[in-house]
Amino acid sequence: MIKVFEHFDLAIVGHIKSVLEADGIQTYLKNQYTSGVLGEIPFVEAVPELWVVEDGDVARANALIRGLQLTDEMAGPEWQCQNCGSTVDGVYGRCWNCEQARPQESPA
Ligand SMILES: [Zn+2]
């Protein structure tokens, strides 16, 4: 399984999950039951995560997510990879270039 998306708003993660599944991609949602208390428990582990079950579907899943053209508000700000310096769209939890995970500290 590979994580393809994460967002603090479960509704957005659920929307993307339904889009991927409509295209025949098997997905797995993590942390869907903890998001309701996110405001009280600021653990990054509580951010809902969308995983793709079959590694072979990841490229297609990423293409679908990109095709959704999420607003900045939905996608979050772009972030800079701390490993290679690439600018990465806010929807991605990993660098497209080197697969470094997004730094978890919240932006100032
Ligand atoms: Zn990188």
List 30's β-bridge partners, or say none. 49
Q: Is 79 helix (H, G, I), strand (E, B) or coil?
A: strand
* Number of domains, the chain: 1
CATH of the domain at 49: 3.30.70
Structural domain span for residue 51: 2-72
Assess if residue 105 is contained within a domain: no
**pLDDT by 10s per residue, the chain, length 108:** 999 998 888 888 998 999 999 999 999 999 876 544 555 555 545 788 999 999 999 999 999 988 886 655 566 778 899 999 999 887 778 898 998 988 875 544
DSSP assignment of 30-74: ESTTTGGGTTT---GGGS-EEEESSGGGHHHHHHHHHHT---HHH
pLDDT at 108 (0 to 100): 46
**Å from CA of 93 to ligand 1 middle:** 11
**Å from CA of 36 to ligand 1 middle:** 31
Assess if residue 89 is contained within a domain: no
Query: How far are the Cα atoms of 5, 69, 81 from residue 78, in angstroms, in the given order?
Result: 14, 14, 10
**Å from CA of 85 to ligand 1 middle:** 6
**Å from CA of 73 to ligand 1 middle:** 23
The predicted model scores a pTM of: 0.56
Place of tokens 């399984």: 1
Assess if residue 98 is contained within a domain: no
Assess if residue 94 is contained within a domain: no
